[in-house]
Chain A
Amino acid sequence: MPILEVQNIEKHFGSTRVLEDISFDLDQGQALAIIGSSGSGKTTLLRCLNFLETPDQGRILVKGETLFDAADPATQRESEVRKKRLHFGLVFQSFNLFPQYTALQNVTLAKELLSQEQPDFKAHKKAILEEIRAEGEALLAKMGLSDRAGHYPSQLSGGQQQRVAIARALALKPDILCFDEPTSALDPELTGEVLKVIRALAQDKTTMIIVTHEMAFARDVADQVIFMDGGVIVEQGPAREVIEHPREERTRQFLSRY
């Protein structure tokens, strides 16, 4: 059974149809790259998965459980949406780190707040917080940022900030980690360090959805590729096949620019 099933998602902004009949599956441990030109609906799709936008039609299932069903308002209650979001992690194009916290605090904040809801939090407060901190430090180490744990975002380069943002998303152990053009706001020389981290995550079999303009990266790292245009999926399949031997004319046109 696939870990993620997206069925017939549709989204309108006013009279503009942004997503139309989007369906795909994703297996555990697989990386899916979504490619396509600006305005094709890629980012909106990720935002729907993370419940930042509400689709007008369709269903989203994780591990067979229906998280969202446009036809069933009970799946859209704010209190439940909050928990459902935790199935997904999202790394933003513009990082969106919290500027008033250090790198380590950025990584641990959400986990600390969540742990306060545990019934045994008061009794084991010290041990729980210590464990969260140790996990946060380990994640930063994995991102190659051990020596930057105490730095504030404004003291970090763009590439370092984005790696902190990845650690922050990983801290909640999401089932599926989403990246929204993670390197688009970075200088070319900083792109590499972020892509390297994502590549390592793929080798660790992290389930990921990556919206990207880095075609070579998508071909080498992703298992599956979806090409979107005008709010619809034009072509999907194994990464190498879609990128090196596209079947659709529109895909060929798009890829010829890279």
Chain B
Amino acid sequence: MLDFFTSPVFQTVIAALNSGFVKTLELFFVTLIGAIPLGLVIAFGSMSRFFPLRWLSRTFVWVIRGTPLVLQIIALFYVPGMKEWFYWPSGESGRMTAVCAAFIINYACYFSEIYRGGIQGVPRGQQEAGLVLGMTKGQIFRHVTLLQMIKRIVPPMSNEIITLVKDTSLARVIALQEVIWMGESFMKGNSGISGLVWPLFFTAVYYLIFSGVVTLLLAKLEKKLAYFQ
């Protein structure tokens, strides 16, 4: 048994899976960094009192949430080149850029609806209390509503973020060499190794550990915000 873990084949496979998982992590964090603020912009748009903006935002959210992420990745990667609008950088970096863009847009739409629920869930009296104390709308948002909204959205956001951990595997559809792609490659042949099935299933360990860590961190955040009701 120990021989297996020290064998060159195992070492090669793990090295390849690690390099794939680095890309998985990159996609995960870039998506969060982009989608968390973009979601807020879309949320404000969909709550705007200016009808065209509200309509545009809600239609956009409908289209993005109503179509598969896989299709969006394919479309965003291939269509600009086919139509000669612009070209993604060649190779792996171009694939990563395109897939990050698709993920950010897709997750921002889901986040925006969670934010909207969170903002509208804060009692109206909170805003009125801020108004009669002479605060501006911006001050009320930053100093009164924001933290109450964050507290409300942590559980649904946790759900989405755990889903994102696993959704990153969809990037393989445009041949981004993330962890599943790497695992599968040892079936067809990679570094002189072929016909191996276990590396593909072994990728599950990566996802499990990573989503475990994410779950713990989000639970910690939830606990941190438990000091008020």
Segment touching A, from B110-118, B125-133, B194-202: B125-133
A86 neighbours in B (Cβ, 8 Å): 134
- The verdict on A89 contacting B132 (CB below 8 Å), with A94-B125, A98-B126 known, is yes
CB–CB B228/A85 < 8 A: no
- Give the residue name and chain of the B residue nearest to A91 (CB): B132
Q: Which residues of A contact B134 (CB under 8 A)?
A: 82-83, 85-86, 110, 114, 172
A99-B148, A100-B147, A113-B143 known; A172 vs B125 contact (CB < 8 Å): no
Contact A152 B133 (CB under 8 A): no
Q: Is A200 on the interface with B (CB-CB < 8 A)?
A: no
- B144 within 8 Å of A by Cβ? yes
A172-B229 contact given A98-B144, A109-B143, CB 8 Å threshold: no
Taking a contact as CB atoms closer than 8 A, the residue among B126, B128, B227 that contacts A52 in the complex is: B128
- Cβ proximity bits B136-149 to A, threshold 8 Å, 1 near / 0 not: 10010001100110
Instruction: Select which of A85, A98, A99 is within 8 A of B132 by beta carbon.
Output: A85
Say yes or no: is A203 at the interface (Cβ < 8 Å to chain B).
no
A interface, how many residues as a size bin?
20 to 34
* A83 contact set on B, CB distance < 8 A: 134
Would B148 and A92 count as touching, CB distance under 8 A?
Answer: no
Complex Cα–Cα for A172 and B147 (A): 24
Taking CB atoms and an 8 Å cut-off, the chain A residues in 52-93 that contact chain B are 52, 82-83, 85-86, 88-90, 92
Judge whether B229 and A99 touch: CB under 8 Å: yes
Task: From A96, A100, A152, give the contact of B128 (CB < 8 A).
Answer: A96
- A92-B125, A96-B125 as given contacts; A172 in contact with B148, CB under 8 Å: no
Interface residue A231 (Cβ < 8 Å from any Cβ of B): no
* B162 beta carbon closer than 8 Å to chain A: no
Question: Nearest Cβ distance between residue B130 and chain A, in whole angstroms?
Answer: 8
Q: Are A92 and B129 in contact (CB under 8 A)?
A: yes
For residue A51, which residues in chain B have a CB less than 8 angstroms away from its CB?
131
A110–B133 CB distance below 8 A: yes
Which residue in chain A gives the minimum CB-CB distance to B146? A100
Assembly CA distance A169 to B125 (angstroms)? 14
Partner among A88, A90, A110, A154 whose Cβ is within 8 Å of the Cβ of B135: A110
Quick check: is A168 within 8 A (CB to CB) of the other chain? Answer: yes
Which residues on the A side are within 8 Å of B227 (C-beta)?
100, 152
Cα A162 to Cα B129 in complex, Å, equals 13
Contact, CB under 8 Å: B143 / A99: no
Known: A99-B148, A99-B228, A113-B143. A85 touches B125 (CB 8 A): no
From A52, A90, A99, name the one whose CB has the most chain B CB atoms within 10 angstroms: A99
Q: What residues make up the interface of B, taking CB atoms closer than 8 Å to A?
A: 123, 125-126, 128-136, 139, 143-144, 147-148, 151, 227-229
A-B contacts, 6 listed (Cβ < 8 Å): A96-B128, A100-B148, A109-B143, A110-B135, A153-B228, A154-B229
Q: Which 6 A-B pairs have the closest CB atoms?
A: A110-B133, A96-B125, A96-B129, A154-B229, A90-B132, A99-B228
